Structure 1
Amino acid sequence: MNILFKFKETAVSVLPVILIVLALGLTVAPLEKIFLLRFVISGLLLIFGLTLFLLGVDLSIQPMGERSGAALTAKKSLPLLLITAFVIGFIVTAAEPDIQVFGSQVKSVFHFVNKTSFTFAIAVGVGIFIMIGLLRTVLKLPLKITLLISYIILFAVSFFVPNAFIGIAFDSGGATTGPMTVPFIMSLGIGVARVMTSKDENSSFGLTGIASIGPVLAVLIYGIVSFTSSAGSEAAAGAAASLAESGVEIAGDCTALDFAAATESSLTGNLFKPFASVFGEIFHEALFSILPIFALFVIFQIWLLKMTARQVTRIVIGFIYSFTGLIIFLLGVHGGFSDAGAELGRILGQKALSAGGAWYLLLIVTGLILGAIIVCAEPAVWVLSEQVEQVSGGTIKRKMLLVFLSVGTAIAIGIALWRAVSGFSLKSVLIPGYLLAMLLMLFCPAMFSGIAFDSGGVASGPLTSTFVLSFTIGAASGGSGGSESFGVIALVAMMPLIAIQIMGIVFKMKQKKTEGEVEHV
């Protein structure tokens, strides 16, 4: 991989966000100079960290996942493949730092929730649906039918869950999409598909999308069980009131930092104090993100892969690059980048509430632009777009994929900000949105449907779910209240399902037109 080329592309993805925030922070939404300087330093850390992380993924996680999937399939033991898939899904999810944060956030609002059982429920959900995803590939079942049945079951269950738990359930899908686990799961699916389907590109995608259904369904079922008791209902009422009063935000990949505390920390102290204060937590988060996958590599190498010493050395070096890059990336995210989003959103939200009109429009437009740009800097989005271009033999350009993904994410953030300052039911957006996504599957090529549902899982990564989420929380704190920022990750995960499938339909129409022109020649 050309590291200079990769560095250039990551810089192009992050620098526009820095310029937009600086422009607003120096003019209509004034921020303190030390705050802006810290934000710029954070942005540079993002660029360096993401470049190093992607280099490591190319050297280690991607080839390991593909080799493991192919080797497991070559054993020709379906029970072995499925049991291993479940164990992989359970281990990497239970160890995911964001799941621990997510569980703590849920418990802080719904006190009847047991964090351990809640975490295990999500991990079991991911494990089961990774099994289902690989079983679909092995049995050559249509991806569209698998997704359709899964979402019918999911929405049928959702009608029995109180509204207070719906956003939590759909946000939980974002909590499982860690920057280390998503590339591994995607590569695992591609490895299995290459053995089972003679490299049929239509079967190479969709595993991440199917796996993302698991935690949502698991949390919905957990909610039904919890709310059946009268104590659960009373706790829910108290939790809803607490949520509305305190402005606590629950979201998949969000940090545990309280908005007010984060803002105060960012506006006081010396320039580098916030970076030093979060380093220990970030090191722990990065370590526990990579350890489960590295442990699986060691086990697979001894039992299954048996690669040469040179190949093992290359993969170990890749893990080191990924680990180091992830630390630098997260240090930038949590050291000042997300805090800037929160403060900027708060100022614009307050002005939109008090003055309305042009300020309201500026808030929405800013969210649209930031959402469109920042998703392109997500680590897992980079991995997915590169895999799509490789598997499709270059017929699907990664730039085209990023454009449609950006548009979808921008619309999601726009809707989220609309809710943040005005307020309306999350169900009123999710149900029509997913119905439209299911309808588009009838006209969209199978491979694009798989890419679309994978994209929904990767769009809500650590950068989108911190900076953009913090921006929305800030807008809600200055607007209608923090409870209306609830469900941002659910919207970010939904919109790519629509946008990428529209891209697939456009691609299909262009192909037919090209074929028709060739026939006439």
Structure 2
Amino acid sequence: MLGTLKESAQAVIPISLIVLLLHLTIAPLPFWSFILFITGGVVMILGMSLFSLGADMAMMPIGQAIGTELTKSRKLWLILISGLFLGMIVTIAEPDVQVLASQVASIVSRPVMIGAVAVGVGIFLALALLRIILQFSLAKLFIIAYILVFIAAAFTSPDLLGVAFDSSGVTTGPITVPFILALGAGVSAVRGGKSSEEDSFGLCALCSIGPILAVSILGILSKAGLSESYPAATLSEVAAFPEMIAEYWLEIQGSFIDVLTVLTPILVIFLILQVFKLKLSRNRLLRIVAGLVYTLIGLTIFLAGVNVGFMPIGTYLGHSLASGSYSWILLPLSAFLGFFVVFAEPAVHVLNKQVEELTGGNISQRVMMIGLAIGVSLSMVFATMRIIFNISIWWFLAPGFGSALILMCFTPKIFTAVSFDSGGVAAGTMAAAFILPFYIGIADALGGNVMTDAFGVIGLVAMMPIVVILVIGLVYKIKTDKAQKHHQSHKEHKETVHS
């Protein structure tokens, strides 16, 4: 619990300090709105800690147990159908998906949005498991998938283009990642082979492609039915402590029902499998049930903190800065926010350590962190420029993903998987809970179209680390090739002298 508290605080506190600095200098907040923000941060830390603890106790063991049992059955159709269904269920429970869906609810209904994202993840999870079993080339699969993505995106509604790429970033969150990785590890371990360790990489990256495709198709099918305007967000009218408590309690009640609805199917499916197939020990079963309770309570509290404290203040600050005399600060502030969003994300540090180990220390954690920080800072600056100068997101997505697909043809295979996995890692919880609302406020203040101008920032944040890590992988390949040539040359020289 202490470990999860530290990680959650690490994600929330840096953004909170930046807001505090802005509040004390150029963008003062109303008193009770500021109190709601601070309490919202505390509530989010507590909720995310309980949720992460629950995910470790319940989601990973369930995923690994199911993955192992499915592969032991040797029935391909059962593995694929189960992957589809389980991918959908865990995505529905993902907090970042819930946060994004709540912000587009006025354009596309929340159930429809969550359903589209969940179907996309489920289909591509099944495809990812099929790749492990049949050993498809990951690079070729990425190329085919992104060609389909950009064809669908070209015909989708402009209002949902940015949302489609944002949905890719929010699916790789604290509940889907451990579950998907555990499921893949179970399938890969039973299959065996030399590549079983490498098979765990790239799973999350493949699953994050599905939502882009699904939401783009949704945009094609619902062009005529989309709302024409995005409703402006308003601050809560809380003016006293009892009113604040009442506001949180009302939000907790609504969130509890929503979370209970999405977690119940997971519990029911697990219990059915336990009775007929898994037959886990009593202690393991009680631990998993306790983990699901932690997940329920934690996710409920977390969503209340986001909806009451963080999102409204993010929108207010973006609007206040863009419409005031300090609008010049938007570009440097965006770069600053991007820098700290990366440093505050615990999963980024895990990724950096992973890459250092993979490269035998040739690519250090420090180099990785600097590269990712620069990449995400640039993506935030690009997102701000899009709004200020009314630039289409295509001018950033096409060159970004195009260069990534070209680079992966020249980098070691393991870097392809790690780089595409890293995109979702950088686009963490704060991207959906604060960064996106902040850009919604900016777009609203500058009179732009919020759907086409603000949405897409999470997609850009998820895209840049892919390019950065592929470049680092290319540098690593060049260094190792030079070292091997030098070693070979030295060896030949010694043999010549000896002879």
* TM-based fold match above 0.5: yes
Identity of aligned residues (%): 38
CA distance in 2, matches of 1:340, 1:82: 43
Query: Does the aligned pair in 2 maintain the 1:10–1:377 contact within 8 Å?
Result: no
Q: 1:267 offset after TM fit, Å?
A: 7.2
The structure whose Rg is larger is 2
Please tell me whether residue 316 in structure 1 is matched to residue 316 in structure 2.
no
Q: 1:136 offset after TM fit, Å?
A: 0.9
Instruction: Give deviations 1:132-161, integer Å, cap 9, x for gaps.
Output: 111111111121111111111221333333
CA distance in 1, matches of 2:232, 2:172: 23
Code of the aligned partner of 2:341: I
Code of the aligned partner of 2:340: I
Instruction: Give deviations 1:305-334, integer Å, cap 9, x for gaps.
Output: 222112222222222333333333333222
Q: 1:28 offset after TM fit, Å?
A: 1.1
Q: 1:399 offset after TM fit, Å?
A: 7.5
CA distance in 1, matches of 2:350, 2:58: 15
Q: 1:362 offset after TM fit, Å?
A: 1.8
Query: Does the aligned pair in 2 maintain the 1:266–1:339 contact within 8 Å?
Result: no
Unaligned runs of 5+ in 2: 492-499
Code of the aligned partner of 1:224: I
Please tell me whether residue 471 in structure 1 is matched to residue 469 in structure 2.
no
Query: Does the aligned pair in 1 maintain the 2:348–2:426 contact within 8 Å?
Result: no
Residues 471 and 84 of structure 1: CA distance in aligned 2, closer, same or farther (over 3 Å):
same
Q: 1:210 matched to which residue of 2? A: 206
CA distance in 2, matches of 1:279, 1:497: 37
Q: 1:220 matched to which residue of 2? A: 216
Residues 62 and 153 of structure 1: CA distance in aligned 2, closer, same or farther (over 3 Å):
same
CA distance in 2, matches of 1:316, 1:391: 35
Residues 103 and 30 of structure 1: CA distance in aligned 2, closer, same or farther (over 3 Å):
closer
Q: 1:196 matched to which residue of 2? A: 191
Residue range with higher mean Cα deviation, 159-168 or 97-106: 97-106
Please tell me whether residue 335 in structure 1 is matched to residue 308 in structure 2.
yes
Q: 1:467 offset after TM fit, Å?
A: 0.7
1:200 aligned counterpart, secondary structure: coil
Query: Does the aligned pair in 2 maintain the 1:95–1:288 contact within 8 Å?
Result: no
Q: 1:472 offset after TM fit, Å?
A: 0.7
Q: 1:182 matched to which residue of 2? A: 177
Residue range with higher mean Cα deviation, 127-136 or 267-276: 267-276
Residues 91 and 115 of structure 1: CA distance in aligned 2, closer, same or farther (over 3 Å):
same
Q: Quick one: which of 239, 242, 254 aligns to 1:281?
A: 254
1:313-462 superposed matches below 5 A = 313-351=286-324, 355=325, 359-374=326-341, 381=347, 385=351, 388=354, 404-462=371-429
Residues 427 and 124 of structure 1: CA distance in aligned 2, closer, same or farther (over 3 Å):
same
TM-score norm. by structure 1 comes to: 0.80
Q: 1:137 matched to which residue of 2? A: 132
Instruction: Give deviations 1:105-164, integer Å, cap 9, x for gaps.
Output: 767447xxx887776554433322211111111111121111111111221333333534
Instruction: Give deviations 1:479-504, integer Å, cap 9, x for gaps.
Output: 24242213223223322322333343
Residues 399 and 309 of structure 1: CA distance in aligned 2, closer, same or farther (over 3 Å):
farther
Query: Does the aligned pair in 1 maintain the 2:419–2:467 contact within 8 Å?
Result: yes
1:222-301 superposed matches below 5 A = 222-226=218-222, 232=224, 239=227, 242-243=228-229, 248=230, 259-261=232-234, 263-265=235-237, 270-301=243-274
2:233 aligned counterpart, secondary structure: helix
Residues 486 and 130 of structure 1: CA distance in aligned 2, closer, same or farther (over 3 Å):
same
2:136 aligned counterpart, secondary structure: coil
Please tell me whether residue 153 in structure 1 is matched to residue 151 in structure 2.
no
CA distance in 2, matches of 1:11, 1:95: 22
Q: 1:368 offset after TM fit, Å?
A: 2.5
Instruction: Give deviations 1:354-387, integer Å, cap 9, x for gaps.
Output: x4xxx344212222322332356568x4797499
Residue range with higher mean Cα deviation, 334-343 or 509-518: 509-518
CA distance in 2, matches of 1:18, 1:101: 18
Q: 1:388 offset after TM fit, Å?
A: 4.8
Q: 1:216 offset after TM fit, Å?
A: 1.9
Q: 1:494 matched to which residue of 2? A: 463
Residues 310 and 164 of structure 1: CA distance in aligned 2, closer, same or farther (over 3 Å):
closer
Query: Does the aligned pair in 1 maintain the 2:94–2:175 contact within 8 Å?
Result: no
Residue range with higher mean Cα deviation, 409-418 or 127-136: 409-418
Q: 1:253 matched to which residue of 2? A: none
Residue range with higher mean Cα deviation, 57-66 or 144-153: 57-66
Query: Does the aligned pair in 2 maintain the 1:197–1:203 contact within 8 Å?
Result: no
Residues 59 and 98 of structure 1: CA distance in aligned 2, closer, same or farther (over 3 Å):
closer
Alpha-carbon RMSD across the aligned residues, in angstroms, is: 3.6
Residues 56 and 508 of structure 1: CA distance in aligned 2, closer, same or farther (over 3 Å):
farther
Query: Does the aligned pair in 2 maintain the 1:420–1:480 contact within 8 Å?
Result: no
CA distance in 1, matches of 2:128, 2:366: 27
Code of the aligned partner of 2:460: L
CA distance in 2, matches of 1:25, 1:116: 36
CA distance in 2, matches of 1:210, 1:102: 20
Query: Does the aligned pair in 2 maintain the 1:375–1:463 contact within 8 Å?
Result: no
1:325 aligned counterpart, secondary structure: helix
Residues 378 and 293 of structure 1: CA distance in aligned 2, closer, same or farther (over 3 Å):
farther
1:128 aligned counterpart, secondary structure: helix
CA distance in 2, matches of 1:78, 1:435: 33
Residue range with higher mean Cα deviation, 453-462 or 417-426: 453-462
CA distance in 1, matches of 2:168, 2:73: 31
Q: 1:254 matched to which residue of 2? A: none
1:219 aligned counterpart, secondary structure: helix
1:348 aligned counterpart, secondary structure: helix
Unaligned runs of 5+ in 1: 249-257
CA distance in 1, matches of 2:37, 2:16: 8
Q: Quick one: which of 5, 8, 18 aligns to 1:7?
A: 5
Residues 89 and 279 of structure 1: CA distance in aligned 2, closer, same or farther (over 3 Å):
same
CA distance in 2, matches of 1:197, 1:179: 27
Code of the aligned partner of 1:490: G
Residues 47 and 121 of structure 1: CA distance in aligned 2, closer, same or farther (over 3 Å):
closer
Residues 393 and 323 of structure 1: CA distance in aligned 2, closer, same or farther (over 3 Å):
farther
Instruction: Give deviations 1:22-54, integer Å, cap 9, x for gaps.
Output: 111011111123322332222223333333333
Query: Does the aligned pair in 2 maintain the 1:434–1:494 contact within 8 Å?
Result: yes
CA distance in 2, matches of 1:174, 1:158: 16
Q: 1:75 matched to which residue of 2? A: 73
CA distance in 2, matches of 1:139, 1:349: 52
Query: Does the aligned pair in 1 maintain the 2:86–2:122 contact within 8 Å?
Result: yes
Q: Work out the number of aligned pairs and report it.
A: 485
CA distance in 1, matches of 2:473, 2:366: 14
TM-score norm. by structure 2 comes to: 0.83
CA distance in 2, matches of 1:266, 1:416: 32
Residue range with higher mean Cα deviation, 63-72 or 9-18: 9-18
